[in-house]
């Protein structure tokens, strides 16, 4: 025990200790050191950040984004502060070139021009994180982005190339279907898929093929969300109609309206990403499944 924890000897019962301690001649109460209790933690965080910056510099990568204090934020704002930490991790033309990552991964898929790059840039509040290119072939790779506060990665976003672009040669289309099918069926750490769809086109044949590919994994617990992008282009009636049609097509899956232009649904989707990546931090729901039906938890 330190002196500061001891009661002043002259403290009279019933009188505030402060008044007694303040009197001339009374033993001076030892003041706690000026630095706040959070300072040690802040120093450790600054050290961790300096280390992460150094590591990024050595690898020729940009420095990690500045930390944002997220303690006083609403869940939606906290999720947005988290998505803002996204940084380019790697790009791979095929599944075998992708690094094995032991973190939850969330894939963004959709037809070319569905608004996928714009959506990723809006969610991460970065102008050019996802590369929006009108030139097919330039984005025929899987791009991974790391997420995590203070440079400590806790999830990955995967931006899969847009499909269905008419001008792409047949072989390239075929190669891409193989890569995408492979990725969606076998990527171990894949936790969720966000399918972006222009509601004026609805789900196309290629989107439906993709749904078929992931269905078995969705039944095993893979999360799945359809975003109807560019919803600012629809009036209320059109939006309601598009929602109900795509909900039917998606077999009752989660479908939401989204607009990068009007920032519609942005916080809500960021919150979904956060929840998928941090399932343990959600309030536990009463278990419905029998213990033997529960999925295995991989350490
Ligand atoms: P990607 O090929 O799926 O990555 O699509 P892009 O993100 O490049 O978007 C395709 C086009 O749709 C671009 O011209 C964007 O400016 C436009 N776009 C994307 N999101 C929105 C949106 O929320 N509202 C509107 N009105 N246009 C959008």
Quote the CA–CA distance of 52 and 95 in Å, as a whole number. 27
Between the CA of 199 and the centroid of ligand 1 the distance, in Å, is: 12
State pLDDT tens for residues 276-290: 999 976 554 544 443
Query: Are 123 and 249 in the same domain?
Result: yes
Domain identity same for 115 and 254: yes
**Are 61 and 144 spatial neighbours (Cβ–Cβ below 8 Å)?**
no
| Ligand 1 probe mutation, 114, 118, 119, 160, most atoms within 8 A of CB | 118
Q: Please, are residues 134 and 150 in contact by the beta-carbon 8 Å criterion?
A: no
Q: Are residues 113 and 227 in the same domain?
A: yes
Cβ atoms within 10 Å, residue 214: 19
Cα 118 to ligand 1 centroid, rounded to whole Å: 6
| 288 lies in some domain | no
The pLDDT of residue 220: 94
Please give the backbone phi and psi of residue 232, each rounded to the nearest 5 degrees, phi first.
-65, -15
**Section 129-153 average pLDDT:** 79
pLDDT band for 80, please (50, 70, 90 cuts).
Answer: very high
Check: pTM over 0.75? Answer yes or no.
Answer: no
The answer to whether residues 231 and 87 belong to one domain is yes
What is the number of domains present in the chain? Answer: 2
Task: Say if residue 248 is in the same domain as residue 147.
Answer: yes
Examine residue 57 and state whether it is found in any structural domain, yes or no. yes
Assess whether 63 and 87 both reside in one domain. no
Six-digit token pair at 243?
A: 């929602």
pLDDT of residue 151 exceeding 60: yes
For 189-220, write each residue's pLDDT tens digit: 999 999 999 999 999 998 999 999 999 999 99
**Using a CB cutoff of 8 Å and minimum separation of 24, what contacts does 230-238 make?**
230/115, 230/198, 230/199, 230/200, 230/259, 230/260, 230/261, 231/199, 231/257, 231/258, 231/259, 231/262, 231/264, 231/265, 232/259, 232/261, 232/262, 232/264, 233/200, 234/199, 234/200, 238/199
Domain that holds residue 62: 40-69
CA distances from 123 to 53, 87, 147, 268, 279 (A): 24, 13, 12, 10, 20
**pLDDT over threshold 90, residue 139:** no
Note the pLDDT of residue 200: 95
Structure confidence at residue 6 as a pLDDT band (50, 70, 90): very low
Domain assignment present for 56:
yes
State whether the beta carbon of 229 lies less than 6 angstroms from ligand 1: yes
* Phi (first) and psi of residue 131, to 5 degrees: -90, 110
- Contact assessment for residue 130 and residue 117, using Cβ atoms and an 8 Å cutoff: yes
Residue 74 lies in a domain: yes
pLDDT band at 69 (very low <50, low <70, confident <90, very high): low
* Residue 22 belongs to a domain: no
Q: Which of 113, 115, 269 to mutate to test the pocket of ligand 1 (most atoms within 8 A of CB)?
A: 115
Single residue among 28, 51, 69 that ends a domain in this structure: 69
Q: Whose CA is nearest to atom 28 of ligand 1?
A: 230
Q: Are 100 and 146 in a shared domain?
A: yes
Is 297 a domain residue?
no
The mean of the pLDDT values for the chain is 79
Separation of 110 CA from ligand 1 center, angstroms? 12
Say how many Å lie between the CA of residue 197 and the centre of ligand 1.
11
Which of 26, 52, 69 is the last residue in one of the domains?
A: 69
Average pLDDT rounded to a whole number, residues 253-267: 96
One domain, residues 225 and 106: yes
Helix (H), strand (E) at residue 105:
strand 105-110
Q: Whose CA is nearest to atom 6 of ligand 1?
A: 115
The finding on whether 118 has its CB within 6 A of some atom of ligand 1 is yes
End-to-end CA distance of the chain: 41
Based on the domain organization, do 48 and 169 belong to the same domain? no
The answer on 78 and 65 residing in a single domain is no
Identify the pLDDT of residue 49. 75
pLDDT at position 290: 39
Is 23 part of a structural domain of the chain? Answer: no
Q: What is the CATH number of the domain that holds 226?
A: 3.40.50.300
**157 and 64 belong to one structural domain:** no
**114 C-beta closer than 6 A to ligand 1:** yes
Q: And the tokens for 50? A: 């300096």
- Measure 142 CA to ligand 1 centroid, in angstroms: 19
Residue 81 in any domain: the answer is yes
Distance CA 281, CA 299 (A): 16
Query: Residue 260 C-alpha to ligand 1 middle, in angstroms?
Result: 8
> Does 48 lie in the same domain as 76?
no
């Amino acid at each position: 025990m330190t002196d500061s924890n001891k009661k002043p000897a002259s403290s009279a019962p019933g009188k505030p200790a402060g008044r007694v301690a303040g009197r001339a001649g009374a033993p001076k109460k030892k003041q706690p050191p000026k630095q706040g209790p959070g300072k040690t933690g802040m120093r450790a965080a600054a050290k961790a950040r300096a280390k992460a910056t150094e590591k990024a510099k050595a690898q020729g990568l940009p420095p990690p984004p500045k930390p944002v204090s997220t303690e006083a934020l609403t869940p939606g704002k906290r999720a947005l502060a988290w998505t803002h930490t996204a940084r380019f991790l790697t790009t791979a033309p095929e599944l075998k070139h992708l690094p094995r990552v032991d973190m939850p991964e969330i894939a963004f898929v959709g037809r070319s021009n569905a608004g996928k790059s714009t959506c990723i840039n809006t969610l991460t509040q970065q102008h050019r994180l996802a590369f929006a290119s009108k030139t097919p072939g330039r984005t025929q790779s899987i791009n991974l982005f790391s997420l995590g506060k203070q440079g400590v990665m806790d999830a990955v976003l995967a931006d899969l190339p847009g499909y269905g672009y008419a001008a792409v040669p047949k072989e390239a289309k075929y190669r891409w279907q193989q890569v995408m099918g492979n990725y969606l069926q076998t990527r171990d750490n894949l936790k969720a898929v966000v399918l972006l769809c222009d509601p004026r086109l609805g789900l196309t044949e290629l989107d439906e093929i993709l749904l078929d590919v992931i269905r078995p994994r969705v039944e095993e617990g893979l999360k799945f969300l359809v975003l109807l992008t560019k919803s600012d282009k629809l009036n209320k009636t059109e939006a309601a109609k598009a929602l109900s049609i795509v909900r039917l097509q998606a077999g009752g899956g989660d479908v939401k309206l989204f607009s990068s232009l009007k920032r519609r649904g942005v916080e809500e989707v960021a919150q979904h990403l956060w929840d998928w990546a941090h399932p343990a931090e959600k309030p536990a729901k009463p278990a419905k499944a029998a213990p033997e039906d529960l999925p295995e938890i991989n350490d």
